Structure 1
Amino acid sequence: MIEVSDTLLDTQREITKLNQPVSFKSLQHLCTCSDDFLVDDKEFQQCLKGCKWSPNGLSILINSEDKRLRIFNIEDIEQNVSLCKVNQIKEGGTIYDYVWYPNFVDKNKTNNLILSTSHRSPIHLWNATDGQLEATYRVYDHVDEVAHVNSLCFNWSGEEIYSGSYGKINIFRTERPGREFIEIPTKADLHRSIISTIAMNPVDKSMFAVGTYSKDIGIYGGNQLMYILRGHKSGITQLKFSPDGLKLYSGSRKGDNDIVCWDLRNVGQTLYSAERTVTTNQRICFDISSDGKFLVSGNCTGDISTWQLDQTIELSDGVESVLTLNSKIPVHNDCVNGVSLHPTRPLLATTSGQRHHDFYDDDDEQALQVTCTDSSLKLWKII
């Protein structure tokens, strides 16, 4: 059984205090991990697919094309910061989503857990320390066969697991593995689409949001649909609430470059948007600092974009406001699909990579290899 710490909220408040505002005008490169992701198969195109810091900031979790989750620990040796791989977990299929157990901060570190979902597999709960499988949660399809889910999220305490798939949301009790769950149908309201992402409101514990590949965003309260937000031009790939719980940020895939900020005090209205570059259908991640001061996003151009969220926004009737870019910094030689801000220190982790296709020269009909490839994890100090 997984126990919930009584000090979780106090820890979250301390994390917010420690993450002081920074200018975010430039980055200092600290270290790069690339050899850890090499594969023997020359026909296989390896690429990373996002990164996430653990809640206590001691570890970072990486997803990759080779169906593996890798865990790196941050090490400080004589003021030289580095990342050391401590474990990896092999899933049975393409990994769709992964998340840390939120109540990570524990003196005995017994709750160092990771939740993941992959193609044609049930939901798995892993021990990040030794890589052992702790629990399995199963969703079944209409012919009573195990079906995968596309998105995952713990509630704020870690007591419940929310999963999204085609036309439904399933809620499990973390302490009860198996097939016992609450099901919320979404086909009637959200265009019979896949639930691609789920986010929990950090203040209103009963509120959560889901995004779909049909461009819809559903806002739920007490497991009941309250509002539907529409306005994106492509399928939703990520949602994130602001630290005060009053705003919701949404990002989508190819065909829509905007990160949109929705005002939850005036539901249906957008406050502003931030423009990035998204030219693929993969998830291009963004993150918000725990003090709510900065927004950072990857781009398909090899750089990151940052915006100050405390800038003055002039609202005009019928005209959507656009955030002024704070900085644009080159960090990789390929698509930057993962960005994750450290919860307590001015550090940023980034990952890169995408699927490349060989192309042919009309003269000699020989395949020309794409030279601009980069599958690496990098750690940066924010300046």
Structure 2
Amino acid sequence: MAGYCKGQAHLRRLYCAPDSRCEMIATCDKAYVPCLTFTPATHSVAVEPNNLASAPRVTLPFPAIDLAWCPFKSGENAASFITTCRDQPLQLWDVGDAALRASYVSTNDSDYHVHAHAVCWFDDASHPHWIAGGYGGFEDATQVRVFDVLAEGSQPAWTYTAPRTHRLVSTLKDCAWPGTTSLLAIGYYNASTVHMVDCRNRCPAAELHGLKQGVHTLRVSAEDPLCVYAGGTQGDSRIACWDLRKPRAPLFTLERVVHTNQVFEFDLLPSTSSSEPRRLVTSSGSGGVVMYSWKAGDAPDAGSGAAFGLSVGPTSGLAVLDAETVVVTTGSRAYSYDSRNLPKVQARHWPSKADETLGEGGSAADAPAFPQYKRPRSPIADCPDSDDEGEGEISAGSARKMGEVASAEAVNVSVIALK
């Protein structure tokens, strides 16, 4: 695994294209959306360089919070995705030319513009034109606003407000009650319950209880359409599975190591038939990924997972390529402190205005010397890396900067084989 350099982009969450698992987009700590490509021949994944002529990048004023592919993307047809970004509305971007196609604006109860913290593009065949944004908070009682992708503007198709709460939405996932209606699963940063919303009547359908902290990730299973999976945050690192017909307690929980507030993603591996064992793979703070396997209709043991790829270090983002291969983002940094070790602030005497002017003795000679700040010279005249040899030569400083820009692509991504 390549080392991390200062100024280099750091990938966070991965999103595979619906028509090709080898094509991915990601969130990172830079103000753009990187595209990644998996090469089966070399079993490697790499970030595509920014090419303004052939493959430009989507640029944002701040790093993207969440992304969502167009579910009916097919090659270059309908090749677009939605972004959520600080101080920005929901924005629809074209993959080919990185052009903005539409914006969906929201305002809170104080009539200020607000940005979404999560986004979901409905995969249901009956509502492929719905885009759900997760909001909430102290000044916004509306948790979810659903827009029609064909109706750009500030008028949502419908909204959902959870009763007696001002929770902040962290994740959204669409699912369906078999043969009846579409459902929307909602997770919150500061609540342990998962809300299931009936998209037909715009009302609560169920509340899934069992976690202790917030919810970071939601997943549904194609083989078990009545099951919903949710991953907890730091303080409750479990993954819980519910049957929608029994929402009061989870069917089972799975363990993983979570040391930080990063989003530790998980996903279900595809199965060729409903009788095959169910398999779930999750990122882990202890390194690599952990895979759980259990028979259909049974419940796995919480600590029965098998670890793979421990050498890549702690992982957070995860994307499933096929039944035997996953791509993960690596790296972790913890910020902790102990209040007992913090330096104690000594009480000090704040001098009066006269003391500050004349000093403690009252004479002008004892007055404190204030620092003198010199105005910097022009960057052109004071440039340490200016070209003194001529216009055709490149200085060492300029070459160093060009090298830093060229090597700024993210490298914290690895491919793990589940064998």
The 8 Å contact of residues 188 and 214 in structure 2, kept in 1 or not, is answered as yes
Q: Name structure 2 gaps, 5 residues minimum.
A: 49-54, 272-276, 338-409
Deviation at 1:330, TM superposition (A): 3.2
Cα pair distance change 1:311/1:143, threshold 3 Å: closer
Greater Cα shift, 349-358 or 282-291: 349-358
- Structure 1 residue corresponding to 2:414, chosen from 364, 378, 383: 378
Deviation at 1:312, TM superposition (A): 6.6
Cα pair distance change 1:38/1:237, threshold 3 Å: same
Partner Cα distance (2:7, 2:249) in 1: 50
Partner of 1:89: 58
The CA deviation string for residues 12-39 of structure 1, in whole angstroms up to 9 with x for no partner, is xxxxxxxxxxxxxxxxxxxx6x68x866
The CA deviation string for residues 241-278 of structure 1, in whole angstroms up to 9 with x for no partner, is 11131100011111001100001132323111100011
Q: Name structure 1 gaps, 5 residues minimum.
A: 1-31, 315-320, 360-373
Partner Cα distance (1:210, 1:150) in 2: 12
Structure having greater relative contact order (Cα 8 Å, sep ≥ 6)? 1
The CA deviation string for residues 134-187 of structure 1, in whole angstroms up to 9 with x for no partner, is 211111123333210111101114310011111421000011111120343434
- Structure 2 residue corresponding to 1:346, chosen from 314, 324, 329: 324
Deviation at 1:129, TM superposition (A): 2.4
Greater Cα shift, 296-305 or 86-95: 86-95
Partner Cα distance (1:303, 1:289) in 2: 16
Partner Cα distance (1:358, 1:81) in 2: 37
Higher strand fraction (1 or 2) = 1
Deviation at 1:202, TM superposition (A): 5.3
Partner of 2:157: 182
The 8 Å contact of residues 82 and 91 in structure 2, kept in 1 or not, is answered as yes
| Greater Rg over alpha carbons, structure | 2
Partner of 2:274: none
The 8 Å contact of residues 46 and 411 in structure 2, kept in 1 or not, is answered as no
- 1:219 is matched by which residue type in structure 2? M
Greater Cα shift, 53-62 or 305-314: 305-314
- Structure 2 residue corresponding to 1:101, chosen from 54, 65, 70: 70
Partner of 1:164: 134
Partner of 2:106: 139
Deviation at 1:313, TM superposition (A): 3.5
TM-score (norm 1): 0.76
Partner of 1:317: none
Q: Which structure 2 residues correspond to residues 168-317 of structure 1 after superposition, within 5 A?
A: 168-189=143-164, 191-201=165-175, 204=178, 206-213=182-189, 214-221=191-198, 222=200, 223-243=202-222, 244-291=224-271, 293-310=278-295, 313=298
The 8 Å contact of residues 67 and 84 in structure 2, kept in 1 or not, is answered as yes
Partner Cα distance (1:187, 1:264) in 2: 19
- 2:206 is matched by which residue type in structure 1? Y
The CA deviation string for residues 90-110 of structure 1, in whole angstroms up to 9 with x for no partner, is 22224221111111235xx22
- Structure 2 residue corresponding to 1:330, chosen from 309, 313, 316: 309
Partner Cα distance (2:232, 2:286) in 1: 16
Q: Does 2:33 correspond to 1:69?
A: yes
- Structure 2 residue corresponding to 1:148, chosen from 107, 115, 127: 115
The 8 Å contact of residues 48 and 353 in structure 1, kept in 2 or not, is answered as no
The 8 Å contact of residues 297 and 339 in structure 1, kept in 2 or not, is answered as yes
> Number of paired residues?
322
